[in-house]
Structure 1
């Protein structure tokens, strides 16, 4: 456990690589890409944003992944009031095609087509599941790992595609998810047999998004630095193990491991019904 805590602490900080920023628009898709300053055959991940949240709210998270040697790209699409989870999932697949199909940066950066992952926050977490299901039969470009970070309820729901996935998954949940009208982490993890579920201690499901300084003042979900710090470590360790095969980070993909800043999910817990969640909100 001491070794795991040391690894976790290291992963909460930026990694050893200098980071470059690029624009996906050069390939015809609005969005951003962050890469290590150099490196061939790197792992790569496409990241989906939450509802009504543009990718500028995930800059530090994307930079964090790049600093640990993972090319991280995020499409800046489907940002309207009624976005399509299916359209965003297609854009995530297109993002993977872009980062594997061209040399990035000054021509000294490339992504290996068998070291790909998908991740997303909230609405984007559910979109990542749909994208993984759509790419699962692809001869190339199929993801090796998928992370749904505090995934939210969508229409159509992500449980059905999750049930078909053979790819390893990481699902993060907040302690109050049982009574949330918006989040769907527990249902998703139950349907997705290859997933690892972690309840992040004292986390705020919407807190991963950055630069929401005045949101809480207005009664809206704001940023939470503690949530961001923990999630970045859990996500980075999970991706480094599955995308690079580095066994140093094996515990970050172990469903039996109790990682720092997480809680063991109650095996007897039952997600609240919609009626119960509404009552909880009104109390």
Structure 2
């Protein structure tokens, strides 16, 4: 008797799985011990792991994304987040360089108690707002980077839009529907339109600019929005599915990446190629 092919999980079931903590115990520590201020989150052990560098938003501390970083680490991804360029006159060029340096650290330093190592062929990069634009700049200059994800990305100087045309690896861009600081039509949409490789643009419904951040911070008095659980849950699930697929060929989140689900939409006008490419 022929064996029936296993049915792929629905987007609803994949969302439920990938928005929950993964199977790995998580460690986190201070990157300044190895020469760069910031945070590192890792699975407790594992060799040849994938890694991403994560860029914070304008004037945001890296620990406003700690739950997201710990979530990715629980699914087997090392995350390094530099805490530099946090002032109002932050240099986008230097921050993009710090993101690349963070990846150098992830690859070159045996983390934990020597039980954690990173595979240089499994590197990605991500960021929120300014950090998203700087992640795109870094990807355009670093051929090691295999995947890029942004949350409410903002234009930078030098231009992230111009850099996007030189990025040939898969890109996933999450825009916030109610973002008044980086409106999708002026930021995420032109970024996706300029992308040089496979790309998908999604809009997270009812999300604000700071919806992807966690906890409280004085910048909420100046910037638009506040932390939103639903926005964070969507980001955790999509980034987990995206980086697992792009960096490790783990396809358990395919239904999330291939279909829209409650709380977000896929922009068909600014989506092209296969994110698994």
The answer to whether structure 1 residue 44 and structure 2 residue 48 are counterparts is: no
Taking the aligned partners of 2:235 and 2:35, their CA distance within structure 1 comes to 30
Contact 2:110 2:117 in 1 (8 A): yes
Runs of at least 5 residues in structure 1 that lack an aligned partner in the other structure: 137-141, 269-283
Query: Which residue of 2 is the match for residue 182 of structure 1?
Result: 182
| TM value normalised by structure 2 | 0.87
Q: Aligned to 2:52, what secondary structure does the other structure show? A: strand
Specify whether residues 200 and 131 from structure 1 end up closer, same or farther in structure 2 by C-alpha distance, changes over 3 A only: same
Q: How many pairs does the alignment contain?
A: 259
Q: Quote how far apart the aligned CAs of 1:90 are.
A: 0.4
Contact 1:12 1:230 in 2 (8 A): yes
Taking the aligned partners of 1:207 and 1:172, their CA distance within structure 2 comes to 12
Taking the aligned partners of 1:167 and 1:252, their CA distance within structure 2 comes to 19
Specify whether residues 181 and 17 from structure 1 end up closer, same or farther in structure 2 by C-alpha distance, changes over 3 A only: closer
Counterpart of 2:232 (choices 228, 232, 252) is 228
Contact 1:213 1:222 in 2 (8 A): no
Taking the aligned partners of 2:65 and 2:47, their CA distance within structure 1 comes to 25
Specify whether residues 176 and 266 from structure 1 end up closer, same or farther in structure 2 by C-alpha distance, changes over 3 A only: farther
Taking the aligned partners of 1:63 and 1:38, their CA distance within structure 2 comes to 14
Q: Which deviations, in whole Å up to 9, do the C-alpha atoms of 1:184-230 show, x marking residues without a partner?
A: 11110111142111111222222111112776677753211111111
Specify whether residues 160 and 217 from structure 1 end up closer, same or farther in structure 2 by C-alpha distance, changes over 3 A only: closer
Contact 1:215 1:222 in 2 (8 A): no
Superposed counterparts of 1:1-283, under 5 Å: 3-136=10-143, 142-176=144-178, 180-183=180-183, 184-193=187-196, 194-212=198-216, 220-254=224-258, 257-265=259-267, 267=269
Taking the aligned partners of 1:170 and 1:124, their CA distance within structure 2 comes to 14
Q: Which deviations, in whole Å up to 9, do the C-alpha atoms of 1:22-74 show, x marking residues without a partner?
A: 22112210011000011111110000000000111111111011011100110
Q: Quote how far apart the aligned CAs of 1:8 are.
A: 1.0
Q: Aligned to 2:253, what secondary structure does the other structure show? A: helix
Taking the aligned partners of 1:219 and 1:155, their CA distance within structure 2 comes to 20
Q: Which deviations, in whole Å up to 9, do the C-alpha atoms of 1:255-283 show, x marking residues without a partner?
A: xx324431132749xxxxxxxxxxxxxxx
Taking the aligned partners of 1:55 and 1:84, their CA distance within structure 2 comes to 16
Structure 1 segments of 4+ aligned residues over 4 angstroms from their partners? 213-220
| TM value normalised by structure 1 | 0.86
